[in-house]
Structure formats: structure tokens, C-alpha cells
């Protein structure tokens, strides 16, 4: 896989990967806010957010109808739609694009669920590699505790309950996420992940994230001519937003 820089795109793509509860979503959200404050042209995209399949995915999850193959194909469709209609056009326009999860999520999760590795990778063969991929490596207990701090119980697929690994969702989570972690570690060198210690506190991690991004990317090239003012709203982390959505549901 060639990076967008190697393909001579004007923009740059930064992706974050990690287990559920690793804190990666908080880190990329804070990075986005910082880049906006610096007047950088930035766009954010997250996994499983395409309007094309979002409602179908939600219904399938609620009714527990999704097989590993169906799950994989839906997520590949989601990614392809966002890649073609959002990511590539904005990279051509000279934006820094931030992705909360990229193709590596499928490589790890779908293979853990039993899909053939070559088949999964083939579904994403059209995608270029990120210019920087940060892998937030957290202990399983840390990830689990962070999730449970925001809501009372684990989600069915998040815990891998569809794989019948254990009748106890917490034990199932550890087994499932542990296997996903193994997949990430196996990919780390192949795709040049920059591993971050996700057990550290949020502030210390964010300092390192900003330092790494500043070292890898010449941010001056992505400055807006007229910086956009930030909205005077309170900082809301993805975890807080998810808690509100769960409450509304």
C-alpha cells in the first residue's frame, strides 16, 4: 500500500487504531480541535458513519442478524462510500483528513470473526495507506474500565457475544478484544504503526500526539488563508457524546 504522500496527493491522512475503550477517539477528537485552533484545513471521518448503510447496520445489530461475512461487507461498503465521496476529494483539495479507524479495523476485527484474511484485504485493495497511523495500545482491563465508566454494560458485538466465546460478556470482551489486539500487533510493522501508550493519562498522550503530527507533517502547508473561528461550545469528548446517545436510545 502506498501512502497518499507517495501518490502525490496534496493532502495528508492521519488514522488512529486501537481496541474499544483504548481512548483513541478522544485523542483524535482533541487533535482535531487543536488543528482547527491552529487554522489548519482539517476534516474528520469515523468508522461506520456513512449514511448509505448506517441505518441498516444499526437495525442489523439490534436484531443480532449480522453474520461475520455480512458485518464485513457492510463495513467495506461504508468505507468505500466515505473514501470516494469524502476522503479522496478532500485530500485532493489539500486537507488534513483525520480518520477514527481505517482499513486496519476490518483487517483485525473481521479476521478475528473468522473471515479469510486475503478476502478481507481484497475488499479494501482500492485504499491507499495513511500517511501516519497511530495505534493506541491499552491493557484489556484499562479498556474495559474506561467503557464501563461511561455506561453500565457492554454492547453485544463490542463484547464479541456473537462468537459465543463465553456467556459472561466481560470475559467474552477480554477474549474477543485480546484476539483483535493480537491481529493489530501482527500488522504493526507491516503497516508502520506508531504505537502510543494508551494507558497514560489523556493530557500526556495528547502532548505526544501533537508532537508526532508536527514532526511528521509540515502543518504550515495546510493553513487556511482566513482561519475559521471555533464555536464557543464546551469541549465534548466522543465518550460523553456516546453516553448521551445511549441515554436517548
Q: DSSP string covering 115-171, please?
A: --HHHHHHHTTTPPBPSEEEEEE--HHHHHHHHHHHSSS--TTTTTGGGTS-SSHHH
Residue 162 lies in a domain: yes
Cα dihedral across residues 46, 186, 72, 87: positive or negative: positive
Residue 234: pLDDT band (50, 70, 90) is very low
CB atoms within 10 A of CB 133: 22
Residue 235 has what pLDDT?
Answer: 45
For the entire predicted model, the pTM comes to 0.87
> Does residue 139 register a pLDDT over 80?
yes
Q: How far apart are CA 211 and CA 121, in angstroms?
A: 31
Residue pLDDT, tens place only, 30-58: 999 999 999 999 999 999 888 888 777 77
Residues 31, 98: contact at Cβ < 8 Å?
yes
Residue 136 lies in a domain: yes
Residue 240: pLDDT band (50, 70, 90) is low
For residue 135, which phi and psi values (nearest 5 degrees)?
Answer: -105, 115
Residue 4 lies in a domain: no
| Interval 160-180 mean pLDDT | 94
Closest Cα to residue 52, out of 81, 83, 86, 85?
Answer: 81
Closest Cα to residue 136, out of 198, 206, 208, 210?
Answer: 198
Residue 7 lies in a domain: no
Q: What is the CATH number of the domain that holds 95?
A: 3.40.50.300
Residue found under cell 441515554: 247
Q: How far apart are CA 143 and CA 137, in angstroms?
A: 9
CA 185 to chain centre: 16
Residue 3 lies in a domain: no
Residue 27 lies in a domain: yes
Residue 222 lies in a domain: yes
| Interval 130-157 mean pLDDT | 93
Domain containing 215 equals 14-244
**DSSP E strands, the chain:** 12-18, 42-46, 96-100, 132-137, 194-197
* Number of domains, the chain: 1
| Interval 89-106 mean pLDDT | 97
Residue 6 lies in a domain: no
Cα dihedral across residues 171, 172, 175, 181: positive or negative: negative
Amino acid at each position: 500500500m502506498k501512502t497518499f504522500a507517495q501518490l502525490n496527493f496534496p493532502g495528508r491522512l492521519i488514522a488512529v487504531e486501537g481496541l474499544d475503550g483504548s481512548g483513541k477517539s478522544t485523542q483524535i477528537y482533541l487533535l482535531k480541535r487543536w488543528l482547527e485552533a491552529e487554522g489548519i484545513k482539517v476534516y474528520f471521518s469515523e468508522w461506520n458513519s456513512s449514511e448509505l448503510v448506517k441505518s441498516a447496520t444499526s437495525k442489523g445489530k439490534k436484531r443480532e442478524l449480522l453474520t461475520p461475512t455480512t458485518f464485513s461487507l457492510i463495513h467495506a461498503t461504508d468505507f468505500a462510500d466515505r473514501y470516494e465521496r469524502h476522503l479522496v476529494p478532500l485530500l485532493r483539495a489539500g486537507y488534513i483528513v483525520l480518520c477514527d479507524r481505517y482499513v486496519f479495523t476490518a483487517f483485525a476485527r473481521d479476521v478475528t470473526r473468522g473471515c479469510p484474511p486475503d478476502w478481507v484485504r481484497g475488499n479494501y485493495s482500492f485504499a491507499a495507506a495513511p500517511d501516519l497511523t497511530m495505534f493506541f495500545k491499552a491493557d484489556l482491563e484499562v479498556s474495559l474500565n474506561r467503557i464501563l465508566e461511561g455506561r453500565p454494560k457492554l454492547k453485544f458485538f463490542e463484547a464479541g457475544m456473537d462468537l459465543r466465546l463465553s456467556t459472561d460478556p466481560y470475559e467474552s470482551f477480554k477474549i474477543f478484544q485480546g484476539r483483535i489486539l493480537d491481529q493489530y500487533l501482527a500488522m504493526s510493522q507491516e503497516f508502520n504503526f506508531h504505537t502510543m501508550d494508551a494507558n497514560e493519562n489523556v493530557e500526556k498522550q495528547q502532548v505526544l500526539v501533537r508532537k508526532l503530527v508536527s514532526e511528521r507533517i509540515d502543518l504550515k502547508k495546510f493553513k487556511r488563508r482566513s482561519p475559521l473561528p471555533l464555536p464557543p461550545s464546551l469541549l465534548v469528548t466522543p465518550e460523553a457524546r456516546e453516553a448521551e446517545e445511549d441515554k436517548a436510545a
